[in-house]
Amino acid sequence: MSNETWQWQEDGCTVSRSTQWSGPGCHNGCGILYYTKGDKLIKVEGDATNPYNAGRLCMRCLNLTEAVNHPDRLKWPLKRAGNRGENKWERIPWDEAYDIIEEKVKSIKKDYGPESIIGMEGTGRNIIWQVPYLTYAGFESPNYTLGFLSGDACYLPRAAQQAVMQSDFFVTDCAQHFETRYETPEYEVPKVIIIWGNNPIISNGDGFFGHWIIDLMRKGSKLIVIDPKLTWLASKADFWLQLRPGTDSALAMSMLNVIINESLYDKEFVEKWTAGFEKLKECVQEYPPEIASEITWVPKEMIIEAARFYAKNKPAAIQWGLAVDQQVTGISAAQAITSLWTITGNVDVPGGNVISKSGFNVDDGYNCGIEWVSEDTLQKRLGNESYPLKMYGFASTAHGDSVLKAIESGKPYPVKMLWLQTTNPIANMGSEAPRVYDAMRKVDFNVVVDLFMTPTAVACADIVLPAGMSLERDSFRAWFAPLRAISKIIQYEECKSDEQIVLDLGKRLNPAAFPWKTVEEWLEWKFGNAKDHYPDAFQIPWSGKTYRERGNTRGVTFKELQERGWIYADWQYRKYEKGLLRRDRQPGFNTADGKIQLFNTLFDDWGLNPLPYHEEPPESPYSAPELYKEYPLILTSGARSWEFFHSEHRQQPTMRIFHPDPLVTIHPDKAKELGIKDGDWVWLESKRGRCKQKAKLAATLNPKVVSAEHGWWFPEKPGAEPILFGVFDSNINNLTAQCQNGETGYGAPNKGLLCKIYKVTEENSQVMPTMQVTKMGGFGYDRK
């Protein structure tokens, strides 16, 4: 093995050091060694020299050979040959596919305006700047969004709230910004870590290698886990707060109540670096522990003790996750949780919540290329008309629910084309999946770019393009530290990298915005290099966000990064003291007055709640008691599995050996009451629809709560309708809803709805949900 070079020979294989991101993949970007012979992947190993994962890999990466060498991969461009849903395709050359797309885009732009084209991707993976750039600079449309994601409820509520409150991203400090990691002299191990609404060891959300938590536990960190479900981490925690889904805001406000009223907060920090503390103090009086206990179902004493434990042990960090976003008060919960680490002074200090930056700032994510959208067109971004956060530029996407409504109603203007790049909305990203299915089929022209033939592609695509997997593309990972190279090592059939596809099309659609001859040259532009070669591409400012400076690697080229594998940028603690956060280089946070806004004046100006508050989920035992009689269980869904990333990995035999079926977890007492045994197939039903999963009995939940899996489809079943890979049969998104957002437009109550459960029998299973949706018009309820 050699650290001198990124490629070498070993056992008759070429070994290449790179980063595995996606697809297929997750929100990590682990150092990996690919062993290849010619264009075939033989095996993978973790890269022990890469400080990010230090040689460790999860089972999905270890099983990459089954993904990369899978016979069902898309191999060349396809044009629909039968009707939508028939799964009949004709192989066409790339140029023909591009010709068709170019002609359609140009005619739609001419007849309906660029805003009638929607660019979509799945969750934020290695297309987070490429698809936005294609949408904004190629289509010149303002409508880039995450596959119908209701309430943009995946990190975006937290991101938007942070943008307004203090303008930077905070992460739990696991020394991930230093190449020397835990050995870094100024680093401190958090005494306490709160794990809030996620199970990081499985979910690895947002560039966070979840097992760093285990590293820290072994170095002495104690845990507080806030989760309706007993996770393995919760079983090891000093405090497990088993809250009712959707009540995070009330719990956080009550913890603030204890910390403020018992004077356990950091007075010096609050005085110097925050604004609005007195108003927050007044507001938390509405949430004394006895009231919060009634709302959240967490015992009063537990709230008090956990709040004290967090406040009294410094440094302490909060590792938060998706559950924060997936409630109507997503923004509010995020504000309350941010207030916790703020008033305790755990801000940008060793072992606290620290301000992260993407590697050398080269990642401007969802806004990449927005300067190519004209001012008039930008105002037409779907959702702007209803939500000030969107209108005033604190949001980086169109609003998923507003896109859905525009397709359904043709208002405020018709949607004529969907560009779906590695997103599979009817299997995963869209809640109320049958509704999303109907909407997508209504659109005149749809293009799907993906790794495999998905239910979404069969149901609605007119053109399908094959994307290369991670080791088939030159790219990079900058979210967060370090900046990592992703190298093209093999070529699979006619697949092209996402970058190449976007560049090819962009050059046809708007050549001025795509001056680069090769992907590598485009990457140099992202790195802030090659200014002399492409002066035109630099004339327009980097991004719509005036407060964030354009990234640059200070001359490091893509080839150099590839050789080195990764580079850590300079990174410091207490940046607010050092003038490192503001453009004017003055100390403080990047807000108007330089302080963290505990009272959100901008929200106040816009008529939104300036302080955190609890609002009942729209379908809860308290807000909808009549509904609760018919659907007496609280449904949460979306907990991650080791084997799968959302709707991916279902075609890999090894993953299905470990996890063959979709599982719904039910408390044994509740199951007994319902006559359900472990391993029984059961129907889960809400007022919108039903799906079938297998019962797993575990006392890890409150008996009134059940937890179902998401993302299930069955690649082993036929693709043509009415089977459609069985995509609706076990789909929990038959039960969830679109268009139930918070006042900001953000947040969706998908982790806290009402359902009932009953055993599957022959007579109640005559019509399977996929048949019901594809051939019988769906479940027949009023769509709101």
Partner 1 sequence: MTENKASSRNGLLIDYEFCTGCHSCEVACMKELKLPPEQYGIRVLEDGPRKTPKGKWDWTYLPFPTSLCDLCEDRVKAGKKPSCVQHCQAAIMTYGPVEELSKKLAEKPKMVLFTPV
Query: What span, in angstroms and rounded, lies between the C-alpha atoms of 76 and 90?
Result: 10
Query: Of 120, 117, 121, which is closest to residue 106 (Cα–Cα)?
Result: 117
CB of 5 to partner 1, least distance (A): 18
Residue of the chain from 413, 547, 622, 658 that contacts partner 1 (CB under 8 A): 658
Query: Of 683, 726, 687, 688, which is closest to residue 708 (Cα–Cα)?
Result: 683
Using rule CB under 8 A, residue 664 touches partner 1: no
Handedness of CA 581, 586, 592, 593 (dihedral sign): positive
CA dihedral (473, 475, 477, 479) in degrees, to 10, reads -110
Using rule CB under 8 A, residue 547 touches partner 1: no
Nearer to partner 1, 58 or 458 (CB): 58
CB of 58 to partner 1, least distance (A): 6
Residue of the chain from 7, 8, 43, 309 that contacts partner 1 (CB under 8 A): 43
CB of 49 to partner 1, least distance (A): 12
Using rule CB under 8 A, residue 167 touches partner 1: no
Which whole-number Å values give the CA distances from 282 to 226, 289, 609, in the listed order? 25, 15, 14
- Helix, strand or coil, per DSSP, at residue 606: coil
Nearer to partner 1, 92 or 698 (CB): 698
Query: What span, in angstroms and rounded, lies between the C-alpha atoms of 86 and 641?
Result: 31
Using rule CB under 8 A, residue 211 touches partner 1: yes
Query: Of 640, 646, 647, 643, which is closest to residue 659 (Cα–Cα)?
Result: 643
Using rule CB under 8 A, residue 33 touches partner 1: no
Using rule CB under 8 A, residue 702 touches partner 1: no
Using rule CB under 8 A, residue 57 touches partner 1: yes
Phi-psi region of 175 (alpha: psi -120 to 50; beta: other; left: phi over 0): left
Using rule CB under 8 A, residue 45 touches partner 1: yes
CB of 29 to partner 1, least distance (A): 15
Indicate the residue type of 648: E
Residue of the chain from 172, 274, 700, 738 that contacts partner 1 (CB under 8 A): 700
Using rule CB under 8 A, residue 654 touches partner 1: yes
Q: Looking at residue 243, what DSSP letter applies? A: P
Using rule CB under 8 A, residue 556 touches partner 1: no
Using rule CB under 8 A, residue 232 touches partner 1: yes
- Helix, strand or coil, per DSSP, at residue 171: strand
Using rule CB under 8 A, residue 217 touches partner 1: yes
Query: What span, in angstroms and rounded, lies between the C-alpha atoms of 47 and 419?
Result: 35
Q: Which pair of structure tokens corresponds to residue 69? A: 């060498």
Using rule CB under 8 A, residue 698 touches partner 1: yes
Nearer to partner 1, 215 or 286 (CB): 215
CB of 57 to partner 1, least distance (A): 5
Q: Total residues at the site for partner 1 (CB under 8 A)?
A: 36
Query: What span, in angstroms and rounded, lies between the C-alpha atoms of 181 and 31?
Result: 15
Residue of the chain from 7, 14, 49, 65 that contacts partner 1 (CB under 8 A): 65
CB of 172 to partner 1, least distance (A): 17
Q: Which stretch binds partner 1 (CB under 8 A): 226-234, 341-349, 559-567, 621-629?
A: 226-234
Using rule CB under 8 A, residue 46 touches partner 1: yes
Using rule CB under 8 A, residue 56 touches partner 1: yes
Using rule CB under 8 A, residue 657 touches partner 1: yes
Which whole-number Å values give the CA distances from 569 to 212, 296, 362, 483, 553, in the listed order? 20, 42, 11, 8, 9
Nearer to partner 1, 253 or 655 (CB): 655
Residue of the chain from 699, 767, 775, 784 that contacts partner 1 (CB under 8 A): 699
Nearer to partner 1, 570 or 657 (CB): 657
Query: How many whole angstroms from its chain centre is CA 231?
Result: 20
Query: Of 227, 204, 235, 239, which is closest to residue 316 (Cα–Cα)?
Result: 239
Nearer to partner 1, 66 or 286 (CB): 66
Residue whose token pair is 């006895």: 290
Query: Of 196, 185, 776, 34, which is closest to residue 434 (Cα–Cα)?
Result: 776
What H or E segment, with its residue span, contains residue 673?
helix 668-674
Q: Looking at residue 452, what DSSP letter applies? A: B
Query: How many whole angstroms from its chain centre is CA 56?
Result: 23
Using rule CB under 8 A, residue 767 touches partner 1: no
CB 697, CB 668: distance < 8 Å: yes
Q: Which stretch binds partner 1 (CB under 8 A): 158-166, 235-243, 419-427, 543-551?
A: 235-243
Query: What span, in angstroms and rounded, lies between the C-alpha atoms of 283 and 598?
Result: 11
Q: Which stretch binds partner 1 (CB under 8 A): 14-22, 272-280, 343-351, 654-662?
A: 654-662
Length of the chain: 784
Nearer to partner 1, 214 or 378 (CB): 214
Using rule CB under 8 A, residue 651 touches partner 1: no
Query: What span, in angstroms and rounded, lies between the C-alpha atoms of 561 and 557?
Result: 6
Could you list the residues that contact partner 1 (CB under 8 A)? 1, 43, 45-46, 48, 54-59, 62-63, 65, 201-202, 211, 214-215, 217-218, 230, 232, 234-236, 240, 642-643, 653-654, 657-658, 698-700
